[in-house]
C-alpha cells in the first residue's frame, strides 16, 4: 500500500508533476497508479507543484492486499452498503480509491475524512450526489460522536490483518485491506473466448505463504464458499505469486492446491482456457476478520466436491501407508503434541500449548480413565517423539514422517525454507495430512492445545471420538470435553 509521508521528502526522488492545464495534481488514483513502479524501484516518489516545490511523498507500507486498479469486472458494495456512515481514517491510496471509485455507488449518506493528509486532495476528489463529506484534521472523539450520532458507522483505518480476536470487527472497525478485499474482489474480469457464457468463474489465488496445510485448507474453503454464495464458480490456483514462498512450494509459482486437493466444483483451470467470464482475485489472504465476514454470507453454502477432497496422488500416498502406523485404532489414544514454534517461538494470537512434561501426565491419566492400551502420537517435533517413546515405550505408534526441532524464537516455516529440498513440498504436506487423518481414526483424542490440526482431526472424525480433551490453560482431565 502507498501512504503519504511528508517527513520523508529528502529520501525520495521527483516523479509526479503538477498539471498546469487543470491547476492541480492529476486525479488521485492516476497519481498512485503512475507512481507504483517508481516506488518499487526507489522506495519513495515525490509530488511537486507547478513551481517544482515538493509537496508530499508516497511510499509502500506493509500490506496483506495488493490492488491492481483493474475495473473490467464489477464492484461488490454489499459490505459498505451495510453502513450509512464511513470514517476514512488517514489518507492513503486505498482511502482515495474507495472514495473516488466505490463511494459513487454507495448507498450511505455521510463520509468523514480524518487526517492532515486529506488536505492535499479535498479540492480534487469528486463530490458524490447524496453523500455529505466532512473533513476533520484529527480524530477527536467528541466531534466524531456528533458526526455519527444515530448512524450505523464503520471506521476504516490502516492495519495489517492477522489471526486475532473479533473485538475490532465487533466495534465496527475494519482495516483498509479488508474493505478493499470485499469491494474489489470481482473487479478483474477477463475474456479468453466465448465458451460458458452463462457462467462466471473466479480463479482464487491467495497469500498463504506461512500457513500450515490445514489452516490453508480451512481459509481456502471459506474463500470458495463465499465465492459460490456470491453466484460465481470458484477454481483454485494458489501460487502466492508475490507473497512469501509456502513450505509446500518447490519454486516460485509452484501451484499448491492441486498437489493435495481437488477442485471444489466440477470445473478446473483447463475448463477456463476459452471461457468468456473469468475473474481473478486480488492478492490477499483471509485471516480471522475476513473469514468471519465471509461466514455471514456462506453459512448455508456447500461445495460439491464431486471428485472427493483429496487429489489422486495424495489418495495413493495415504493408502500405501496408513495401515502400518495405526494397527489398533479402537484401543488407541490419539495424541496431538505441538512442539517446535508453538512452544519455542511463543506465537502471538495463537493458543497456548502445554509442555511435553505436562502432556505426559495428561496422557497417563487418559489411558487409565478411558481404559486404552496404545498411544498414537501426531507431532512434528523430533524431541517430542523421542521423549514419549522413552516414557511409554512400545505402546507409542507414529508415522515415519520427517520431524524437526526448532531453536528458541525460530519459526518452523522459516527453517523449512532454509533447508529447502526440491520436490519436498508434496512430501511435507502429505506426511502432515496422513498424520492428522490417522489421529482422526483413534478411539479418543488428547491435544496439547488448540490448532488447525486439532480442528481438522475432530471434523474428519465426524463425531466418533469417545472422548476429547484439548488443553486450555487451566483445564484438567476431569473436566474433559466430550462429544
Domain assignment of residue 75, yes or no: no
Domain assignment of residue 95, yes or no: yes
Distance CA 398, CA 396 (A): 7
Q: Quick one: pLDDT band at residue 61, thresholds 50, 70, 90?
A: confident
How many domains are contained in the chain?
4
- CATH code: domain of residue 379: 3.40.50
Whole-number pLDDT of residue 424:
86
pTM score of the predicted model: 0.83
Instruction: Convert the pLDDT of each residue in 309-351 to its tens digit.
Output: 999 999 999 999 888 899 999 999 999 998 754 454 455 556 7
Shared-domain flag, residues 92 and 228? no
Domain assignment of residue 180, yes or no: yes
Rounded to 5°, angle at Cα 331 from 329 and 336: 65
Whole-number pLDDT of residue 448:
93
Domain assignment of residue 69, yes or no: no
Shared-domain flag, residues 326 and 472? yes
Shared-domain flag, residues 294 and 155? no
Shared-domain flag, residues 227 and 180? no
Q: Among 269, 298, 327, where does a domain finish?
A: 298
Residue whose grid cell is 502432556: 359
Reduced 3-state DSSP string for 380-427:
CEHHHHHHHHHHHHHHEECCCCCCECCCCCCCHHHHHHHCCCCCHHHH
Distance CA 106, CA 144 (A): 21
Distance CA 61, CA 346 (A): 26
Question: Residue 226 — φ and ψ, nearest 5°?
Answer: -65, -45
Q: Among 137, 166, 184, where does a domain finish?
A: 184
Residue 11 has pLDDT above 90, yes or no: no
Residue 25 has pLDDT above 90, yes or no: no
Shared-domain flag, residues 163 and 198? no
Three cell numbers, residue 290: 475476513
Nearest one of 418, 413, 448 to 432, comparing CA atoms: 413
Shared-domain flag, residues 322 and 452? yes
Instruction: Convert the pLDDT of each residue in 102-118 to its tens digit.
Output: 999 999 999 999 999 89
Shared-domain flag, residues 408 and 433? yes
**Selected residue with higher pLDDT from 234 and 49:** 234
Domain assignment of residue 303, yes or no: no
Q: Which domain holds residue 342?
A: 318-479
Instruction: Convert the pLDDT of each residue in 274-312 to its tens digit.
Output: 999 999 999 888 889 999 999 998 989 999 999 999 999
Mean pLDDT of the chain: 85
Residue range 366-375: mean pLDDT, rounded: 97
Domain assignment of residue 312, yes or no: no
User: How many Cβ atoms are within 10 Å of 371's Cβ, its own excluded?
Assistant: 11
Distance CA 429, CA 214 (A): 9
217 membership: H or E segment, kind and range: helix 213-229
State the number of CA atoms in the 13 A half-sphere of 71 facing the CB.
Answer: 9
Amino acid at each position: 500500500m502507498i501512504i503519504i509521508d511528508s517527513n520523508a521528502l529528502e529520501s525520495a526522488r521527483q516523479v509526479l508533476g503538477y498539471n498546469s492545464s487543470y491547476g492541480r495534481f492529476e486525479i488521485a488514483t492516476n497519481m498512485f497508479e503512475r507512481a507504483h513502479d517508481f516506488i518499487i524501484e526507489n522506495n519513495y516518489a515525490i509530488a511537486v507543484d507547478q513551481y517544482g516545490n515538493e509537496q508530499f511523498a508516497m511510499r509502500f507500507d506493509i500490506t496483506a492486499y495488493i490492488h491492481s486498479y483493474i475495473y473490467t469486472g464489477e464492484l461488490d458494495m454489499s459490505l459498505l452498503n451495510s453502513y450509512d456512515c464511513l470514517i476514512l481514517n488517514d489518507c492513503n491510496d486505498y482511502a482515495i480509491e474507495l472514495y473516488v471509485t466505490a463511494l459513487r455507488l454507495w448507498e450511505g449518506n455521510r463520509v468523514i475524512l480524518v487526517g492532515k493528509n486529506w488536505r492535499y486532495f479535498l479540492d480534487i476528489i469528486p463530490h458524490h450526489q447524496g453523500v455529505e463529506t466532512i473533513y476533520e484534521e484529527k480524530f477527536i472523539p467528541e466531534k466524531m460522536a456528533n458526526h455519527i450520532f444515530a448512524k450505523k458507522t464503520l471506521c476504516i483505518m490502516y492495519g495489517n490483518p492477522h489471526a486475532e480476536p473479533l473485538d475490532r470487527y465487533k466495534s465496527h472497525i475494519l482495516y483498509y485491506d479488508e474493505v478493499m478485499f470485499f469491494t474489489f474482489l470481482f473487479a478483474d474480469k477477463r475474456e479468453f473466448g466465448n465458451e460458458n457464457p452463462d457462467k462466471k468463474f473466479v480463479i482464487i489465488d491467495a497469500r498463504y505463504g506461512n500457513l500450515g496445510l490445514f489452516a490453508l485448507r480451512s481459509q481456502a474453503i471459506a474463500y470458495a464458499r463465499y465465492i459460490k454464495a456470491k453466484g460465481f464458480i470458484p477454481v483454485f490456483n494458489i501460487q502466492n505469486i508475490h507473497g512469501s514462498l509456502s513450505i509446500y512450494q518447490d519454486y516460485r509459482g509452484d501451484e499448491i492446491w492441486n498437489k493435495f486437493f481437488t477442485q471444489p466444483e466440477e470445473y478446473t483451470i483447463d475448463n477456463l482456457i476459452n471461457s468468456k467470464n473469468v475473474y481473478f482475485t486480488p492478492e490477499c489472504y483471509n485471516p480471522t476478520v475476513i473469514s468471519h465476514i465471509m461466514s455471514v454470507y456462506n453459512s448455508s453454502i456447500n461445495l460439491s466436491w464431486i471428485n472427493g477432497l483429496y487429489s489422486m496422488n495424495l489418495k495413493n500416498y495415504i493408502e500405501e501407508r496408513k495401515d502400518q502406523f495405526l494397527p489398533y485404532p479402537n484401543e488407541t489414544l490419539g495424541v496431538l503434541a505441538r512442539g517446535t514454534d508453538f512452544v519455542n517461538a511463543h506465537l502471538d494470537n495463537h493458543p497456548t500449548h502445554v509442555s511435553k512434561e505436562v502432556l505426559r501426565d495428561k496422557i497417563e491419566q487418559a489411558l487409565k480413565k478411558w481404559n486404552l492400551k496404545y498411544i498414537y502420537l501426531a507431532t512434528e517435533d523430533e524431541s517430542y517423539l523421542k521423549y514419549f517413546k522413552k516414557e511409554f515405550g512400545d505402546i507409542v505408534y507414529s508415522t515415519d514422517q520427517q520431524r524437526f526441532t526448532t531453536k528458541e524464537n525460530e519459526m518452523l516455516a522459516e527453517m523449512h525454507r532454509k533447508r529447502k529440498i526440491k520436490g519436498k513440498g508434496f512430501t511435507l504436506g502429505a506426511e502432515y495430512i496422513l498424520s492428522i487423518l490417522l489421529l482422526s481414526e483413534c478411539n479418543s483424542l488428547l491435544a496439547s492445545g488448540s490448532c488447525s490440526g486439532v480442528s481438522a482431526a475432530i471434523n474428519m472424525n465426524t463425531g466418533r471420538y469417545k472422548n476429547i480433551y484439548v488443553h486450555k490453560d487451566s483445564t484438567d482431565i476431569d473436566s474433559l470435553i466430550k462429544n
